[in-house]
Structures are given as C-alpha cells and as structure tokens.
Amino acid sequence: MLHAVTWWLVPVYLHLHLLVPTPLLARYRRYLLPPLYALAAILAGLELFQALPPEAFYLGLFLAGVGSLALLFTRLFIGISSLARLATGQILAGIALAFGPGFALWVVPGLLHAPQSGMLNIYLMTFAASLLPFFYIYAVYKRLLGGLEFRANRALSLFSFLVVYLTTFVVVFVLSSQWVSFTPASLGFALTVSMLFVIGGLFLHAPFQRLINRLAYGTEHNPNDIIRAFANEIPRALNRDALVSLLTGEVNPSLLIRQSALYLWKDGQASLFYADGVALDPEMDASEQVRQWLADAKRYRPPKSELGEVSPEEQEADWVRLVIPIEVGDTVLGVWLFGQRDPDDYYPKPDIELLATLANQVGVALETMRLIEDLRHQASELEKAYEGLKELDRLKDEFIQNVSHELRTPLAVIRGYTDLLLEGLLGEISAEQRQAFQIVSDRVDAVIRLVNDILSFQQGPTLPLVREPIYLAELAQFSIRNAEILVQKMGRKDQFRFVLEASEDLPVIWGDYNRLSQVFDNLLGNAIKFSPEGGTITVRIRPCEYQFISRPEGGSRQSAIEVTVSDQGIGIPPEQIHRIWERFYQVDGSSTRRFGGAGIGLTIARNIIQAHGGVIWAESQVGVGSTFHFVLPVHESPLPSEGTGTYQNASVSS
Ligand code: ADP
C-alpha cells in the first residue's frame, strides 16, 4: 500500500516543482502532466497487485527526488528573474538543511566506522526534515507575509541554526565516542565540548543570521556598515545636488533600491526633491495622498494589484512599497518613497529601521539646507535694504551740501551789511542799535561756522587741502585768542584760564592753515562747552617721533608734532570714548540739551587730521577732564601728490 503511494509521489512532486517557486514549461505542462499522472496510476495499481519487483518502488522515490531537484536546478541556469532565482536558492537551502543532518549522522560515522547513535539520529532527522515545508512556504509566500515576514525570517534562521548546531554536536560526540569511552573520567571532556559549543553558539549565531538574510533577501549589506558610512556624509551634503547624488548614487544602490523619490512640503504643496527610476509630477496637491502615505508609513506596502482590482489612479501610485516620513523634531518635512528593489521589491523590518535612521539624517541635512537658504535670503534682503539706505544717505548728503551752498551767499551778504552798519558807513547808529547789530553779527558768524563745518564734514577724510608752511604754535596762539574772545562774549572770562606750552624747537609743517585752525577751534570750543565750571585749558605742542602704522612708509618712526588740548570739564565715560568720533554722536541726550551742538565737530577734526596724514585720539576721566591728542607728520617740502585746489570756504571763513 505504502509502495503504491510512492509511485504517486512522482507526478505530485514533479507537478509541484513545475509550479514552485515559479511556473516552468507553462506551454508543455498540459501535455506532460496527464500522461505522468496516468503512468503513476498504472504503476500504483501494479504495485497494489504486487506485480512489480519489491525494490521497484525505490525507483519511484528516486525519480520523485532527483526529478524535483533537477527542476529546481534548471531554474538556476535558465534566464529567470533574480527574484525567482533567489526563491529557488531558498528552497534548495531548505532541502540541504532538511536532509543534510541525516546525511551527516549516517554517512559520516559510517565512513569512519564509528557507531551510529540510533534513535537520537531519527529524532534529529525528523526535527530537521520539518524545515522543508517551512522553507517552501517562506520562499513562495514571503512577500505576502507583510509584518510577519520578519518573524518568519527570524524563526527560520533560529530553527536552521538549531538543526546545524545540534547535528554538529551529535556528530562530534558520535565520532569522539569512538576514541573516548564515556566513563566518569571522561565527564570533563564532555563538559568541555559542551561549553565550547555553548560559547561558539553565541558567536556563530550572528554570522548565521547574516547568511540567512543573504539567502532571504539576496543582499550582502550590513546595516551597521551602511549607517556608519552615511550617517556622517548625509548631514554634510548641504546642497541639493550633493544630497541627491549621495542618496541616488550611493545610499540607494547599496541597498539595491531601484526606485525612490522624496517629496517635501511647501505651502500645502508637495514638491519633488528628487525622483530616481520613476517619473513623477514635480508638484502635487499634498493633502489626500500624503495622508494616505503617512498612515501607511514605515510598513511594507504589498502591491495593490496583487490584492485585487485597482483604479487607474491607484495603479499609478502603486509603485510605492515603503513610505518613510522625513521628520525634524515634531515637524514632518516630507516623505521619502521607495519602490522597486532587487531582488523582490521587499523591504524587511531591519531595512525599514535602517532607512528610518537614514531619514533622520536626511531630515537634519534638509533642515540645515533650509536654514542656510533662509539666511542667504535674509542676507540678500538686508543687502538690498542696505543699498537702499546708502542711496538715501547719499541723497541726504547731496541735499545738505546743496542747502549749505545756497546758504553761503545770503549769509555773506548779511555779514557784509552788518559790518557796514557796525562801522557806521551807512549812517550814524545809536549805542542800542550797535548792540543789536553786534548780536546779529555774532549770530551770523555762528551760522557761517556751522555751514563751514557741514561743508567740510561732507567731504570726509578726502577733503582737498591747500598746503603752506605753518608754524603750529602761532596758529594755536591765534585760536586761543579767538577762544578767549568767545568766553568773553559769553560773559565767562573769569572762569577760564588758557595756557599755551609750545617747545622752542618746533619744526614747520606743511598743512592747510584754515583746516588746522578749524581743528583747534573745534577742540577749544568743546573744551569750553564741556567745562561748565570753567578751569584751565592747556594746549601743549612738542616735537616727537611717531610710528604712523597706516602710512605706506610702514613701521619706521618719523618726525612729527604732537598737540594736546586738555580741559578740566565733565569728561567722557570710557564706554563712549570711541564713539565720539562718529558723526552726530553726542554722549547723551541731556548733555546735548545742556550744551548744544550738532555732533559733527570731532568728526570734522578727525577728517582734517587724517587728510594731513596724522592721527587723533582722546583720553578722558569723568569728572576730571579730557585730553585730545593729535599728531601730524613733519614734511620737508609740499607733497607732490596732493592737489592745491581752491579752498572752497575761504570766502566765508573768518
Ligand atoms: P558736539 O560738540 O557738536 O556735540 P562733537 O563731535 O564736537 O559734537 O563732540 C561729540 C561729543 O563728544 C560731544 O557731544 C560730547 O558729548 C563729547 N565731547 C567732545 N569733546 C568733549 C570734551 N572736551 N569734554 C567732554 N565731552 C566731550
């Protein structure tokens, strides 16, 4: 009876292997199978009636086994898809694992004339044989297992590992029992071998799992290696092209991914960051499709067409096998889509986790790129705004320049007529009238000084100079006299004492007389203005050696004259002392109201000193007083490079 069934195995096995894992000889199957089944029926019948020799059924077994193997091996050599070849490999591995232990336990000890281990062999072989259907089902239905696939893979791997492990263990003991007799004395040996197996098992399981993975997925990648290789590179790919070429040129190929794309959200629209191996719309309405994608994220999506009828739109989006959201913090920046993949388009759990880790890196890179883009945008906006302001500033300067020029002529006329009136050339005037005209004349002088200041201030440090030989002590003497007249007019003559300390051996310098007078006037004017209690104002002039760092002649010291103007006034707070040179800067609002002024006197003084190739600075102590220093280089002769343009303010300067 059992022998009759054996004959049936032949057509059933061959039929099975013609269909599994992929259909073979589709065109000839219907001519091939019916005669095969008919023949098996006849042979089974003959067997029932014991019309065949007793050993004949072995031939049936042989035909079923070898025929099936032949069909499987055929698949490895004919041009089938890599997916089918992989499944065939899995089935063959299953066969080897299911029958291998039997071979090892019977044949190896047999060859070495070692004793068989009897029942133990039978148990172990039964245990191993149960791997066979497991491998068949896994190879054929792997892609339909969904989330269970990972568990099936692990169970398969563990089961196979146990089979190989136990077989080796038993073979080792069977062989060793030939030389070592199991007495209490050999317990040490048994324990040592067992220990070695336990320890070896710990180390061998991981490589074995990799082997099974390779068998299951056809990949040789090690997730840790991939993470290590790309974790550093991705966040450094900080422009679109670099990131796209890293993802499509390196990450995808190393994971055998043939189709992938990345969509990013922008204003409710999803815009395509890249598409590799698939044609997609560059923009699309994000809402519905994205909601669906995100609901399915981080899970293998079996093709819908495999599960039933699909609409044409679904068909179009059906290339996506895996969706990984790209997130930074709580924000979803976009989705990373994966499709076809060698060999079987399947994304097992470890690879999903690996891609999710890489997606985090991609998220960081994209966010950094966005920040850089924002910064660039802001910088260009700021630059535009700055250009606008510069233009406004230029227009304002031009306006001030024009107005000041326009003021000069009427002021000169007023000045001329008040002089005529004061000198009595236009008729006798009373003492009261004289006093009134004097006030007018003084005020007009003040306005003329302001207009002159504004005009020279507008020209900055490039203002033209009219050079002549100047003896600075004389010039200072003259300015001090003006200052004395000023305090006299202010009615504060008794509060101030002016001291001039000039060295005897002062060299002559080549400078612009009117401009340098302006510097002295401004410094002395400030000394008076910011000394509400009065005090001594000292002007010191001495020759010195000075190193003008900014000059083209460079580091060497050169002959110079140093001038200091010190007062005993309110002083300047240290944190503001550097700002007093800025145009319009005044130490504080209340002092502005208290002392008046336009905040440009020092800017002009600095411009003039710099135009002469000199330097100016200040030292001060609040409540004690301030000292302003300037140093001018001494030149033997006029500088050839500087023009001798007309001095524009000459007509109105006093
Ligand atoms: P203005 O005198 O018209 O305000 P300046 O450019 O001449 O403008 O001076 C700028 C600021 O520097 C002044 O407002 C004042 O606060 C401070 N300053 C200048 N000279 C002195 C000084 N001798 N003592 C104290 N503060 C001074």
The answer to whether 270 and 114 are in contact (CB under 8 A) is no
* Rounded Cα–Cα distance for residues 284 and 287 (Å): 9
Contacts of 154 (CB under 8 A, 6+ apart): 209
Distance 492 CA to ligand 1 centre (A): 19
Q: For residue 297, how many other CB atoms are within 10 A of its CB?
A: 18
Q: With 60 as the cut, is the pLDDT of residue 551 above it?
A: no
- Which tokens is 234 given? 């991705």
> How many Å separate Cα 53 from the centre of its chain?
81
The torsion angles phi and psi of 509, rounded to 5 degrees, stand at -115, 155
645 pLDDT above the threshold of 60: no
What distance in angstroms lies between residue 490's CA and the mean position of ligand 1's atoms? 19
Say yes or no: CB of residue 607 within 6 Å of ligand 1.
no
Residue 565 Cα: closest atom of ligand 1: 23
- Closest residue by Cα to atom 20, ligand 1, is 526
**543: confidence class by pLDDT, cuts 50, 70, 90:** very high
Closest among 259, 450, 222 to 339, alpha carbons compared? 259
* Nearest CA, atom 23, ligand 1: 527
Q: Write the Ramachandran bin of 483: left for phi over 0, alpha for psi from -120 to 50, otherwise beta.
A: alpha
Structure tokens at 346: 């399947």
Minimum mean pLDDT range among 172-176, 534-538, 607-611, 644-648: 644-648
Distance 203 CA to ligand 1 centre (A): 83
**Helix runs in 187-307, H state only:** 187-217, 223-233, 240-246, 252-254, 287-295, 304-307
pLDDT at 647: 33
The per-residue pLDDT of the chain, averaged, comes to 83
Q: How far is the CA of 444 from the centre of ligand 1 (A)?
A: 22
* Of residues 319 and 618, more confidently modeled: 618
Instruction: DSSP for 214-242, please give it.
Output: HHHH-----HHHHHHHHHHHGGG--SHHH
pLDDT of res. 93: 86
Instruction: Quote the pLDDT of residue 24.
Output: 78
- By most ligand atoms within 8 Å of CB, the mutation choice from 518, 580, 609 for ligand 1 is 580
Residue pair 400/392 in contact (Cβ under 8 Å)? The answer is: no
pLDDT at residue number 437 = 92
- In short, whether 21's Cβ falls inside 6 Å of ligand 1 is no
The owner of tokens 């589709």 is 26
Determine whether the shortest distance from the Cβ of 599 to ligand 1 is under 6 A. Answer: yes
Atom of ligand 1 nearest to the CA of 570: 25
Q: Give tens-digit pLDDT for 20-29.
A: 777 777 778 7
Q: Which of 69-83, 87-101, 273-287, 369-383 has the lowest mean pLDDT?
A: 69-83
Indicate the range of 59-63, 217-221, 267-271, 567-571 predicted with least confidence: 217-221
Across the range 586-607, mean pLDDT stands at: 75
pLDDT of 436 reads 92
Q: Per-residue b/e over 84-122, b at no fewer than 16 CB within 10 Å?
A: bbbbbbbbbbbbebbbbbbebbeeebeeeebeebeeebe
Does pLDDT of 9 surpass 50?
Answer: yes
Hey, how many other C-beta atoms are within 10 angstroms of the C-beta on 149?
20
CA triple 592-595-596, angle to 5 deg: 65
DSSP codes joined into one string, 442-507: HHHHHHHHHHHHHHHHHHGGG----EEEE-HHHHHHHHHHHHHHHHHHTT-GGGEEEEEEE-TTPP
Dist. CA 603–CA 613, nearest whole Å: 15
pLDDT at site 572: 94
Question: Do the Cβ atoms of 259 and 301 come closer than 8 Å?
Answer: no
Is pLDDT larger for residue 597 or for residue 383?
Answer: 383
Portion of the chain with pLDDT greater than 90, in percent: 28
Residues 83, 343: contact at Cβ < 8 Å? yes
| Residue 652: per-residue pLDDT | 32
Q: How confident is the model at residue 135 (pLDDT cuts 50, 70, 90)?
A: confident
Least confident span in 339-343, 541-545, 569-573: 339-343
Of 94-98, 303-307, 469-473, 641-645, give the lowest mean pLDDT range.
Answer: 641-645
30-88: pLDDT as tens digits: 888 888 888 888 888 888 887 778 777 788 888 888 888 888 888 877 767 666 777 88
Q: What percent of the chain stands above pLDDT 70?
A: 87
Residue 649: pLDDT band with limits 50, 70, 90: very low
Residue 642 pLDDT level (bands cut at 50, 70, 90): very low
Task: Give the per-residue pLDDT at 567.
Answer: 97
- Cis, peptide link before residue 109, omega less than 30° from 0: no
Q: Which range among 103-112, 130-139, 211-220, 639-648 shows the weakest confidence by mean pLDDT?
A: 639-648
Pocket probe mutation, ligand 1, options 586, 606, 624, max atoms within 8 Å of Cβ = 586
Average pLDDT over residues 371-377: 92
Residues 6 or more apart whose CB falls under 8 angstroms from that of 533 comprise 495, 568, 569
Q: Does any ligand 1 atom lie closer than 6 A to the CB of residue 627?
A: no
At 646 the pLDDT is 35
Which pair of structure tokens corresponds to residue 474? Answer: 């004389």
pLDDT of residue 598: 74
What is the best residue among 452, 496, 572 to mutate for testing ligand 1's pocket, by most ligand atoms within 8 Å of CB? 572
Between 200 and 584, where is the model more confident? 200
Look at residue 456 in the predicted model and tell me its pLDDT: 76
Q: Does ligand 1 have an atom closer than 6 angstroms to the CB of 535?
A: no
Q: Roughly what angle, to the nearest 10 degrees, separates helices 349-422 and 431-459? A: 150
Q: Rounded distance, CA 215 to CA 210, Å?
A: 8
Whether residue 427 is predicted with pLDDT greater than 50 in this model: the reply is: yes
Provide the token pair at 357.
């880790």
**pLDDT above 90: residue 562:** yes
